[in-house]
Homo-oligomer: A and B are copies of this chain.
Amino acid sequence: MARRILVATGGGDCPGLNAVIRGIVKRAYLEEGWEIFGCIESFNGILKDNIEIIPLTPKVVSGLHVKGGTIIKTTNRGGPFHFPVQQEDGTWTTEDRSELMKRRLENLGIEAVVNIGGDGSQRISVALENMGINVVGVPKTIDNDLATTDFTFGFQTAVQIATEAFDKLVTTAESHNRIFIMEVMGRDAGWITLHSALAGGADVCLIPEIPYDPRKVAEKIATRYRDNEGFCNIVIAEGAIPFNGTVSGSSSTLAGDLHFKLHGAGDRLRSELEEIGVDHDIRVTVLGHLQRGGTPTAFDRILATAFGVKAFELVKDRKYGQMVVYRQPDILHVSLREAISQPNLIDPKTNAFVHAARGVGMSFGD
């Protein structure tokens, strides 16, 4: 009888997910006797009243490494421990369907699960492991905020997209003597911000790891205009925050809070700068989902493919409870527990690219 693997993708989509899936399937079909199934919409596919899983054959995954997104769908909702159920009165609650999941995996003859996902997904992986389900994890975070791997797929694609967007904004900023604020992804980690700011040649780079002072940003702007550059480009992470007390006065703080709720970090910064008295034309662009989409860069396709191949091999070798990682130049594995133990944030003191950015005159608002 065939040995069976179930593959799921969890959390926000990320360029390279399909390449991982293809890697697993193509590697598996080099061996005799394996069958790979895809679980639709993260683990929900196997938790629903009517199971939704699909066979993943070489034909199905052919050419998939070029395609963004995930053909087996993904979501942030539900999962084995908090599956949404509608009650008789119409309201929703959640229930633990992890035992149902285990039973169904057994019934379907599935010996292991490959869970491709970020921090939250891998916490679920650990919990499933604890129940005796065999799991292999593949890291997925566009934010590059996992400490145990040098890079995650999707990150370079997001940086490339943000950099190309920045290149476009520069020409219009120059032509109009404007200040442009480009808001990119990164709630806790500033990797996409730092890399795209450095690649684009931004004047200011604001990241969650370095609380910024709007007055310092305004000073940098003033310097730019005094030096007759006549425009200023700022990249800000969605999670960047001014340090306490920067914007003085209760009304302004309120306005700031309101802005932050209605809009994001970019709009808040504009509001802060206007309040300080910056009177140049300021425009905000929020990249948002553009950073998640499209075909992965060459590097991300390669990394994702190698992750997929490795994930299958871990299952084949019965090395469960492990997560695939990249430690240049090798593809290795660490325990899932170790993988989720700490995030990968930028250390402003030691990071080589923060140093390089300061070296070309970039301000971090500090």
Contact = CB atoms under 8 A, between A and B. Distances in A.
Interface string A295-309: 101110110011001
A159 interface: yes
A305 B198 contact: yes
Interface string A87-119: 000000000000000000000000000000000
Contacts of A163: 298, 301
B289 A288 contact: no
Contacts of A159: 298-299
B359 A331 contact: no
Given A165-B290, A356-B23, A360-B22, A69 B329 contact: no
Interface string A271-294: 000000000000101101110111
A171 interface: yes
Interface residues on A, range: 35 or more
A5 interface: no
Nearest to A161: B168
A226 to B, nearest CB: 14
Please state the number of chain copies in the assembly.
Answer: 4
Contact of A301 (B23, B73, B165, B199): B199
A83 to B, nearest CB: 17
Contact of A176 (B75, B199, B290, B305): B75
A62 to B, nearest CB: 8
A56 to B, nearest CB: 14
Contact of A290 (B73, B285, B352): B285
Given A168-B294, A195-B298, A23 B66 contact: no
Contacts of A150: 328-329
A148 interface: no
A288 B283 contact: yes
A196 interface: yes
Nearest to A227: B58
A82 B302 CA distance: 42
B22 A309 contact: no
A27 interface: yes
Interface of A: 9, 12-13, 15, 17, 22-23, 26-27, 30, 41, 63, 65-70, 73-75, 150, 156, 159-165, 167-172, 174-177, 180, 195-196, 198-201, 230, 262, 283, 285-286, 288-290, 292-295, 297-299, 301-302, 305-306, 309-310, 312-313, 328-331, 351-353, 355-356, 359-361
